[in-house]
Chains A and B, each alone.
Chain A
Amino acid sequence: MKILVCISNVPDTTSKINFTDGDTKFDTNGVQFVINPNDEFGLTRAMWFKEKQGATVHIATVGEASVEPTMRKALAIGADEAIRVNAAPTDGFFVAEQLANIIKDGAYDLVVAGRESIDYNGGMVPGILATLLGMNFVNSCISLEVEGATATAIREIDGGKETVQTSLPLVIGGQKGLVQESDLKIPNMRGIMMARKKTLNVVEPIDATVATKDAKFDKPVAKGAVKLVNSADELVDLLHNEAKVI
Chain B
Amino acid sequence: MSVLVYTESENGKFKKSAFEVASYAKAVADQLGSSVTAISFNTENNDELGAYGVSKVLNVTDDKLATFNALAYANSIEQAAKSESTQVIIVSSSTNSKFLAPILAAKLKAGYVPNVVAAPESTSPFTVKRTAFSNKGFAHTEITTETKIIGVSNNAFGVKENQTTAAVETFNAELNDTDFAVKSIEIDKVAGQVSIADADIVVSGGRGLKGPENWGMIEHLAEVLGAATACSKPVSDMGWRPHGEHVGQTGKPVASNLYIAIGISGAIQHLAGVSASKTKVVINSDPEAPFFKAADYGIVGDAFEVVPKLIEKLKEFKAQNA
> B138 contacts A220, CB within 8 Å?
yes
- How many interface residues does chain A have, given as a range? 35 or more
CA distance A236 to B200 in the complex (A): 16
CB < 8 Å neighbour of A127 from B102, B272, B292: B102
> A220 contacts B275, CB within 8 Å?
yes
* Minimal beta-carbon separation of A149 from chain B (angstroms): 12
Contacts of A54 in B (CB 8 A): none
* B26 beta carbon closer than 8 Å to chain A: no
> B197 contacts A240, CB within 8 Å?
no
Contacts of A228 in B (CB 8 A): 292, 297-300
The B contact surface, by secondary structure, is mixed
Interface string of A210-244 (1 = CB under 8 A from B): 11111111111001001111111101101110010
Given the contacts A120-B139, A140-B99, A218-B137, A213 and B107 also touching, CB distance less than 8 Å: no
Given the contacts A131-B106, A211-B144, A235-B310, A162 and B188 also touching, CB distance less than 8 Å: yes
Given the contacts A158-B197, A159-B190, A217-B140, A130 and B103 also touching, CB distance less than 8 Å: yes
* Minimal beta-carbon separation of B44 from chain A (angstroms): 21
Contacts of B101 in A (CB 8 A): 124, 127
> B198 contacts A226, CB within 8 Å?
no
Contacts of B188 in A (CB 8 A): 160-163
Among B55-63, B112-120, B157-165, B208-216, which stretch is in contact with chain A?
B112-120
Interface string of B261-296 (1 = CB under 8 A from A): 000000011001001001101100000000011111
Given the contacts A128-B106, A156-B244, A161-B188, A219 and B250 also touching, CB distance less than 8 Å: no
Contacts of A17 in B (CB 8 A): 133, 136-137
* Minimal beta-carbon separation of A37 from chain B (angstroms): 5
* A186 beta carbon closer than 8 Å to chain B: no
Given the contacts A176-B250, A229-B297, A160 and B189 also touching, CB distance less than 8 Å: yes
B residues adjacent to A (C-beta < 8 A):
68, 70-71, 94-96, 98-103, 105-107, 109-115, 125, 127, 131-145, 181-190, 193-198, 200-201, 225, 237, 243-244, 246, 249-251, 257-258, 268-269, 272, 275, 278-279, 281-282, 292-300, 306, 309-310, 312-314, 317, 321
Between-chain CB contacts (< 8 Å), 23 pairs? A13-B250, A17-B136, A38-B250, A91-B111, A115-B98, A122-B114, A128-B106, A158-B94, A159-B196, A159-B198, A212-B141, A212-B142, A215-B142, A217-B132, A220-B136, A220-B275, A227-B297, A228-B300, A229-B298, A232-B299, A236-B313, A240-B317, A240-B321
* A152 beta carbon closer than 8 Å to chain B: yes
> A159 contacts B197, CB within 8 Å?
yes
> A211 contacts B105, CB within 8 Å?
yes
CB < 8 Å neighbour of B98 from A92, A139, A160: A139
CA distance A226 to B299 in the complex (A): 10
The A contact surface, by secondary structure, is mixed
CA distance A162 to B225 in the complex (A): 27
Name which residue of chain A comes closest to B278, CB basis: A245
CB < 8 Å neighbour of B95 from A140, A176, A239: A140
CA distance A91 to B102 in the complex (A): 13
* A46 beta carbon closer than 8 Å to chain B: no
> B258 contacts A211, CB within 8 Å?
no
* A65 beta carbon closer than 8 Å to chain B: no
CA distance A173 to B299 in the complex (A): 40
CA distance A226 to B182 in the complex (A): 48
Contacts of A240 in B (CB 8 A): 317, 321
Closest 9 CB pairs of A and B: A127-B102, A159-B195, A160-B189, A211-B111, A131-B106, A124-B102, A232-B309, A245-B258, A139-B99
Given the contacts A131-B107, A220-B137, A220-B138, A245 and B279 also touching, CB distance less than 8 Å: yes
* A123 beta carbon closer than 8 Å to chain B: yes
**A219-B136, A230-B299 given. 19 additional CB < 8 A pairs?**
A122-B112, A125-B102, A139-B70, A158-B195, A158-B198, A164-B182, A164-B183, A165-B185, A175-B250, A211-B109, A214-B142, A217-B137, A218-B140, A223-B293, A223-B296, A232-B313, A233-B313, A235-B313, A240-B321
Contacts of A239 in B (CB 8 A): 258, 279, 281, 297
Interface centre among A13, A115, A173 (most CB of B within 10 A): A13
Contacts of A213 in B (CB 8 A): 141-142, 144
Name which residue of chain A comes closest to B300, CB basis: A228
Contacts of B70 in A (CB 8 A): 137, 139
Name which residue of chain A comes closest to B297, CB basis: A227
* Minimal beta-carbon separation of A120 from chain B (angstroms): 6
CB < 8 Å neighbour of A246 from B183, B195, B317: B317
Contacts of B306 in A (CB 8 A): 232
CA distance A232 to B139 in the complex (A): 38
Contacts of B134 in A (CB 8 A): 13, 118-119, 121
